Structure 1
Amino acid sequence: MQIIVDIGNTDAVFGLYDQTTWQYIWRTPARLDEPADSYERRLRLWLLEASIPLSAIKSTVLSSVVPDLTPTMRAMLTELFGFDPIVVGPGVYPLLPIEILRPHEIGTDLVANALAAYTRYKKNCVVVDFGTALTFTTVSGEGKILGVAIAPGLKTAIRSLFSNTAQLPEVPIEVPASALGTNTTHAIQAGIVLGYEGLVRSLVGRIQAELNGDCIAVATGGLSGRIPSLQDVFTDIVPSLTLEGVRLIGEFVTNSTDRQ
């Protein structure tokens, strides 16, 4: 069994993978002020509730886009399981079957998305990740990351309005019945949720046009299903695609090490 960890700007996601399937996926806020032993207690509890002994975990893989939290989580995994995790970063990228654009700049989550999409589909693909940021990562059928586009995520946009205006409230991410908002909540939902539908359609369409139409689109991320009217844009919706990519990175690194 493996523990796969994906630390984002909002949440830290822990996945328990057993041979061919994800047995459990747990999510907790990613907090810089939280000590390592707090994350350790939480992970111990999850494993206890799942009746999984610590000795059953044979490897761990860590991806993080929060540099200040990476050492904390790495130390926690090492202390808990007695061995170091594989840490996703430029040092392991040469072992992967994809060509990575600007390896010291690109987020590890985007590399994971690209690898998972390339491994799964083997064709030109744009991965739209609905997270703290809304990212569009395009990978070719030959395994080359062609480029990335980044916009604020849905929650980030709503919180920005709430934080920077005196009278606009924070609202739930729900599709309003009309683009003509008749109250403040529906007005914000119309502007953000329906507006993001147009953003995603437009940007995916432009990416596909630049590749002469030879490109599928796949959605991932915790909010990937929150705009149902976008389903026709996507060939597939895989909320755990990033976690799967992190797991695959660990697999390629382990296999390369075993061959040496």
Structure 2
Amino acid sequence: MLLAIDIGNTNIVFGVNNNGEWLNHWRVQTDLLKMADEYRVIFSSLLSDGKIYIADLNQIIISSVVPSLVHPFTEMLAKLLPDVGIISVGPDIYHKLPVKVLNPYQIGSDLVSNAVAAFKKFGKLTTIIDFGTALTFTTIGKDAEIRGVAIAPGLQTAVNALAGKTAQLPQIHLTPPPSVLGENTIHAIQSGVIFGFSGLVDSIIERTQNELEEKLTVVATGGLSSIIAPLTKSVKIIEPMLTLDGLYMINSEVTK
């Protein structure tokens, strides 16, 4: 069984896959101050709660966009699964993948994982929108070449900046307000962020489509995709497990 780990700036998502089926998956908050042993306790506990036996795990793959956590996780996994090798998604293995990465040192491993999954699932011109700490748009052609990326601040990042840089605007929950016309401060911020970002998504997709010769398939993923995607005109497909699916597919390519 495969343990796949996606280390992001806000959350760490990991899951256990057995022959293409996700048996369970978890999301924990990224904490740069946690030590390897602390993460080992968290992982061991969640795996146990999910009825996953550590001894059954015989493959590990990691994607990380947080360099400072690579060593703690490598140390943690060496203690948790000392006899299992680790595949780290990065430029060293991109030549083994079914997609073409033009600037391997300037693209996040999570975006490469998304591109692999989208190409394998759809096999045509696709833009993947990942609603994470950053809001990313990755476009891959039917020829498997990653055509380009657009990056904007993520929703929660924008909310945090607004609350942190103003004296009277509070933190909010990212849920759609009853109206675009906010009648109180909370609803006003929710309106600006949620409806504003849905418009941002549609605008980027429209501009992307205008630069391409074929019909574009649009796929959304990431923790906040279920909130924004239904409010857009352009997103028709939501794949919440896309990054982990990509890690599973990358592992299959590298180990075959």
TM-score by length of 1: 0.95
Structure 2 residue identity aligned to 1:171: I
Give the aligned partner of residue 224 of structure 2. 223
Aligned to 1:249: 250
Task: State how far apart, in whole Å, the 2-side matches of 1:226 and 1:243 are.
Answer: 20
Superposition CA RMSD, Å: 1.2
Q: Aligned with 1:23: secondary structure?
A: strand
After TM superposition, give the deviation of residue 217 of structure 1 in Å.
0.2
Tell me the SS of whatever aligns to 1:172. Answer: coil
Contact 1:78 1:85 in 2 (8 A): no
Q: Structure 2 stretches of 5 or more lacking a match? A: none
Whole-angstrom distance in 2 between the partners of 1:52 and 1:6:
18
**2:235 maps to amino acid:** F
Q: What residue number does 2:190 align with? A: 189
- Do 2:131 and 2:154's aligned partners in 1 also have CA atoms closer than 8 Å? yes
Partner of 1:203: 204
The two structures have a TM-score, normalised by structure 2, of 0.96
Q: Which residue of 1 aligns with 2:134?
A: 133
Give the CA deviation at 1:234.
Answer: 2.1
For structure 1, the 5+ residue unaligned runs are 256-260
Tell me if the contact between 1:4 and 1:14 (Cα under 8 Å) persists in the aligned partners.
yes
Change (3 A) 1:49 1:246: same
Do the aligned partners of 1:62 and 1:74 also contact (CA within 8 Å) in 2?
Answer: no
Counterpart of 1:48 in structure 2 is 48
The one-letter amino acid of 1:100's match is V
1:231 CA displacement? 5.7
* 1:68 maps to 2:68: yes
Aligned residue in 1 for 2:213 = 212
The answer to whether the 8 A contact 1:77-1:84 is kept is no
Please say if 1:121 is aligned against 2:122.
Answer: yes
Partners of 1:131 and 1:223 within 8 A in 2: yes
Within a 5 Å distance, the mapping from 1:98-177 to structure 2 comes to: 98-177=99-178
Matched position secondary structure for 2:98? coil
Aligned to 1:86: 87
Distance 2:47 2:158 in 1: 35
Instruction: Give, in whole Å, the separation in 1 of the partners of 2:116 and 2:48.
Output: 32
Check the 8 A contact 2:139/2:146 in 1, yes or no.
yes
1:5 aligned residue = 5
Contact 2:4 2:244 in 1 (8 A): yes
